[in-house]
Chains A and B, each alone.
With several copies, the nearest count.
Chain A
């Protein structure tokens, strides 16, 4: 077998990576408690206690940083750690006395502890200018700027409930942007500039035309070459054409930017899962710290934090007070862009007299 090329063996079995306390109490956890921000204990039916310390992470990590984590895991918890579905790092301790020293060591390498319970956890995000050809904004940079600004809400648990932020750098929405309490979405606002010189070499014209959800793209001959033309009035900048054809770039420094969406959620707790809805149609890309974005988000967080009832997620709160009140209280101007005009638009119109004044 040794000479045959090994494929399709799959990931390592998770059991290899579980600390003994978990193996012993697997499926026997009884309840958990928050001990302090970023630290919780799970108590087993057997009485065993597992302490979790959660540290914030930039997600984009060097191997050196991962090694530092590994060292801390060795030092405090037998080498066992995990990552969360929002990309934080969790250390799995059995000794309560190790909690504070671990936290201190984490602080030393620049990693805050928090994100559990009524707090803001790490921002689920994507590649941006680091690695993706499709990005209308950067990912890591915006996330860093926003989290710096919201730092206290990660390290403390002073919010009415959980608040989940996500960022995607284009409409493909890798990540959870479509169902987040607050979502930051990279957007183009200018139709594709067709590269007529090269299109016929790189792309299949019928595919390109077919890719457009609004039928804005028609085959056309330009300067004697087979190409396509875009009816600019029908373009809503989805970049689906660019995904299938590199000769249709939309990225444009003057017009790219981000939009802000609010009120989505994933969990079934209380309210059914909801999509995020458009709050701010456009904010400019302003690297390195995207001040318009950070301040808009802080305002939204604080508005929600000071008005929502206990447990009420952003979307639940807005649903209770109504969107008109949300726009009034947030000072965001309601514009044509907020009104849906895609396929199911009519179902978003207000079809009752349930109004507040």
Chain B
């Protein structure tokens, strides 16, 4: 324990400056744990050589779970033996990332004992990342965590740990209860989360309004984004206050409205809600005066992902508006149908967004029995290459056309 820390002149540079230093954090851990010491040494070496020293992970994990652990081995185990294994455990965070000091201390105590004492609070998907331990400590760590009710998150071709914005807990704009939904979905899909059986990963993210504070439209296979479908609530007096306090409502609010559906005559703010695209801008700009309508729910979108392989995707609209009421059965039924289809027809390492593009959105909708609606597209097709599905046979003049026409 009391071994001197390795010399890390390059890393030491990164203890300078205003922003909190991860090097300082590793040093804090290294004081108690030789893993941290070796990590410092290895990282300093990477800095010098400008190359990483980690190898592809093997399959490691805890009993009965197929995911949640990222196996990692370094390629210089003789020199850095304490991190020759250095596996990461992904622990499912509580919805909205709320904690008590007690809960955090519980995690800290376990990880100080069983692992490197280093974490990410949190990973990009949302998990608590317990950064680095050896293979033999995986199961005991899990057992210890179970005692304080923390379970493992996703990795591999499974449901990944869902995440959500703080929603109704701390935000006035939440159009549905994101934390309740996130928790509910997480619990419903425990099996799919822990036992990879899909063609590839599948992520859920829940945002309470179109500001999308968990980036769900960019980073989840299913994005559930709150919205409303009645009129924006206007507090006229508060509008006046903003105007009086010098806000340029015309250029700041009206001029930025993508629906081009607002008018301000210097006295009254009018919104033609029929053309409002629910972008949130006016509400963001005047939080005291404007609020989302009262008939609230969510838009369900599908398919976003990072670029590998077919190029990055944003999610696209599947259901323009749905009421978000437990047990969210309609959505879950849809999820089941989509998974069945994707598991059946999807290629290995093909995310659902890529799958839909490959088979065609129209065919996908046919299979999951959802009617096509114009809300699903930015615009109808521009090319004339239409697969008309039925034609009249001349031998037999019966109407062969289906009900589509």
- Do any CB atoms of chain A lie under 8 A from CB atoms of chain B in the complex? yes
A 66-88 binary contact with B (CB < 8 Å = 1; else 0) = 11011101100001111111010
Measured between beta carbons, the chain A residues less than 8 angstroms from B51 are 129, 251-253, 256
Measured between beta carbons, the chain A residues less than 8 angstroms from B117 are 62-64
Measured between beta carbons, the chain A residues less than 8 angstroms from B186 are 10-11
Interchain CB contact (< 8 A) of A59 among B101, B121, B166, B252: B121
B 160-201 binary contact with A (CB < 8 Å = 1; else 0) = 000101101111101001010001001100110010000000
A289 within 8 A of B: yes
Report the bound CA distance from A108 to B105 in whole Å.
21
**Which stretch in B262-270, B328-336, B358-366 binds the other chain?**
B358-366
B249 within 8 A of A: no
Measured between beta carbons, the chain A residues less than 8 angstroms from B357 are 345-346
B243 within 8 A of A: no
B64 within 8 A of A: yes
B308 within 8 A of A: yes
Measured between beta carbons, the chain B residues less than 8 angstroms from A69 are 101, 104
Measured between beta carbons, the chain B residues less than 8 angstroms from A128 are 52
Measured between beta carbons, the chain A residues less than 8 angstroms from B383 are 340, 342
Structural contact, A288 and B26, CB atoms closer than 8 A: no
CB distance from A30 to the nearest CB of B (A): 6
Structural contact, A323 and B374, CB atoms closer than 8 A: yes
A47 within 8 A of B: no
CB distance from A153 to the nearest CB of B (A): 11
B287 within 8 A of A: yes
Q: Could you list some 24 contacts between A and B, CB below 8 A?
A: A13-B183, A27-B168, A33-B288, A65-B28, A71-B101, A79-B100, A133-B54, A133-B57, A133-B72, A141-B11, A148-B18, A174-B306, A176-B215, A177-B306, A178-B382, A236-B385, A236-B388, A237-B388, A334-B373, A349-B361, A350-B377, A351-B315, A354-B278, A356-B277
A29-B171, A50-B170 in contact; A133/B218 too (CB < 8 A)?
no
B376 within 8 A of A: yes
A218 within 8 A of B: no
Report the bound CA distance from A324 to B279 in whole Å.
16
CB distance from A202 to the nearest CB of B (A): 9
Interchain CB contact (< 8 A) of B19 among A32, A56, A66: A56
Structural contact, A11 and B94, CB atoms closer than 8 A: yes
Structural contact, B172 and A311, CB atoms closer than 8 A: no
Quick one: closest A residue to B320, CB to CB?
Answer: A355
The tally of residues in B whose CB lies under 8 Å from a CB in A reads 173
Give 11 new A-B contacts, CB below 8 A, not counting A272-B258, A281-B386.
Answer: A12-B94, A27-B168, A32-B172, A79-B102, A144-B19, A154-B19, A173-B308, A269-B280, A277-B380, A282-B388, A355-B375
Interchain CB contact (< 8 A) of B97 among A83, A251, A267, A311: A83
CB distance from A73 to the nearest CB of B (A): 5
**5 nearest A-B residue pairs (beta carbon):** A148-B17, A349-B316, A70-B101, A63-B108, A147-B19
Report the bound CA distance from A58 to B374 in whole Å.
37
**Which stretch in A15-23, A219-227, A298-306 binds the other chain?**
A15-23
Report the bound CA distance from A265 to B175 in whole Å.
21
CB distance from A125 to the nearest CB of B (A): 8
Interchain CB contact (< 8 A) of A42 among B18, B93, B171: B171
Structural contact, A87 and B210, CB atoms closer than 8 A: no
Structural contact, B380 and A323, CB atoms closer than 8 A: yes
